[in-house]
Structure 1
Amino acid sequence: MDTTETLVTYELKGAVALIGLNRPDKRNAISDRFVEAIHEAVQRAQKEARAGVIFGHGKHFCAGLDLAEHSEKPLFEAVKGSRRWHAVFDGIERGTIPFVAAISGAAVGGGFELAASTQVRVADQTAFFALPEGQRGIFVGGGGSVRIARLIGAARMGDMMLTGRALKATEAEAWGGVSYVVPEGEALTRAVALAEQMATNAEFTNYAIINALPRIADMSSEDGLFAESMVASLATMTDDAKDRLRAFLEKRAAKVQDPNA
């Protein structure tokens, strides 16, 4: 494990990059320097790995914005800081490889925003989610008004921000904010297993899922259907797809298993 950057650890486990938020004494609260460390790790992962996992060292995933740093910023510096968060988190959401968030403890404010930028979120039973911006006199600035609102709905997000409501992992799952809920201490193990599975997919298909789906969601129905046809046709043209389809037709590839069996 590479710990030369104290804020973020990086480990390559086979085809999966493990990115660890490493500020446990501050519940992994995010500063500007921390954002840049996350960016560097994500960029490295996209060069070296086929999938990635983001997790928090210590008891908590991420308690969000470092308010001590934020409260001292002039107005325009705050705007530029928010836009930098957007750029870095967009590199996770619409990069070249899929990411899984392994969440335990707090995923609060910017921590929830970071988790929302990953493609899949795994939470253990210690996880809780909150958006306390209303009580702090601030507003989400790391992309939450787009990403979290699309996951759980604007009305539910507004409820969390207005009332300070915190969600348990099972509640976040019911609302669409979490993909999997696992027993305490098992979030990272499950996240790595899912990332390893993703890493076996065709690279172009993973790229299309990451980049086409959110863009199609922004389009009209007709434009989205047209874009889907283009991406689907491109996917079938890759050598990887041809090999995989041939293996399926020749009964060398596993069939989809019935989860009810």
Structure 2
Amino acid sequence: MSETQVTYELDGAVALIGLNRPEKRNAINEEVIAQLRDAVNRAGDEAMCGVIYGHGGNFSAGLDLREALSRATGQTVPPKKRRRHSWHEVFDLIARGPIPFVAALHGAVVGGGLELATAAHVRVGDNSCFFGLPEGQRGIFVGGGGTVRIQRVVGYTVMADMMLTGRLLTAEEGQREHIITYLTPIGGALDKAREIAAKIAQNVPDTNWRITNLLPRVNDLSHEDGLFLEYMSSNMMRSPETAARLQSFVDGNAKLVKPE
């Protein structure tokens, strides 16, 4: 790969993955997706939790419209065979891979940038954040999993309004609509995300995997099937680390941590 459009750093048990096209507001093209795939796979091998953030003044302004225009005008030769959408593949590696991910958001979190953000399991934003889905004004439609992920976060009514009218949500509105859980002062999102990721990395890996892989699948099931899958999960073999942690709590060596 000729240019580093996605950076990678391992900080203890946490992998830091940065979108690195600041001059393009971290717009996402196929090269970014390819490098993001490599970084996410590497994080799954090396880390216990990942953080995704954007270099420069924005998280991501979404789809690279120049690349989209090239496809729309036939300048890009389509593949001979249909394959899974590259964004779907990579964002699913984040959403349902071996480790949890925290997104650190600032500036523009728009279109495909919002689709990427909602693939993460925990989202932190600072007060500079704004969220948008301008596809309606561009003559296109969401294509990076937004119909599934964004709609499940904010609901149909909010998503339809954002797409039809081009309305932008502020950081406070984004928190109200559950796009972000943690809101920080400007410049504080990455530090907060790293703090949260370090805490998540201390969990039993098997439990983190169940939270990020089993829990969303239960949400797709009927009431009875969901309870059955939970029952099956609760009767699966537990890791030795689970037994050790339970014993520590029973012995009084582990305490519940009260909220700050």
1:111 maps to which of 110, 113, 119: 113
Distance of aligned partners of 1:80 and 1:138 in 2 relative to their CA distance in 1, 3 Å threshold: farther
Give the aligned partner of residue 195 of structure 2.
193
Paired with 2:171 and 2:208, the residues of 1 have a C-alpha distance of 27
Shift of 1:5: 5.2
Paired with 2:190 and 2:143, the residues of 1 have a C-alpha distance of 27
Paired with 2:151 and 2:185, the residues of 1 have a C-alpha distance of 26
Over aligned residues, Cα RMSD in angstroms?
A: 2.0
Residues 171-210 of structure 1 mapped to structure 2, 5 A cutoff: 171-210=173-212
Shift of 1:71: 1.2
Give the aligned partner of residue 124 of structure 2.
122
The gaps in structure 1 that reach 5 residues or longer are none
Paired with 2:257 and 2:13, the residues of 1 have a C-alpha distance of 23
Aligned pairs, number? 256
Shift of 1:7: 0.2
Paired with 2:117 and 2:78, the residues of 1 have a C-alpha distance of 24
The superposition leaves residues 147-178 of structure 1 with CA deviations (integer Å, 9 ceiling, x where unpaired) of 00000001110000000000011101101111
The superposition leaves residues 177-203 of structure 1 with CA deviations (integer Å, 9 ceiling, x where unpaired) of 111111100000000000000000000
Shift of 1:82: 7.5
Paired with 1:136 and 1:81, the residues of 2 have a C-alpha distance of 25
Structure with the higher helix share, 1 or 2: 1
1:234 maps to which of 211, 236, 243: 236
Residues 211-250 of structure 1 mapped to structure 2, 5 A cutoff: 211-234=213-236, 237-250=238-251
Task: Report the secondary structure of 1:181's partner residue.
Answer: strand
Which residue identity is paired with 1:166? L
Runs of 4 or more, structure 1, over 6 Å off, are: none
The answer (yes or no) to whether the contact 1:15–1:49 under 8 Å persists in 2 is: yes
Shift of 1:76: 8.8
1:32 maps to which of 9, 30, 33: 30
Deviation larger for 58-67 or 175-184? 175-184
When normalised by structure 1's length, the TM-score is 0.94
The answer (yes or no) to whether the contact 1:32–1:81 under 8 Å persists in 2 is: no
Give the aligned partner of residue 14 of structure 2.
16
Distance of aligned partners of 1:208 and 1:173 in 2 relative to their CA distance in 1, 3 Å threshold: same
Paired with 2:122 and 2:62, the residues of 1 have a C-alpha distance of 19
Give the aligned partner of residue 64 of structure 1.
62
2:143 maps to which of 132, 141, 144: 141
Identical columns (%): 52
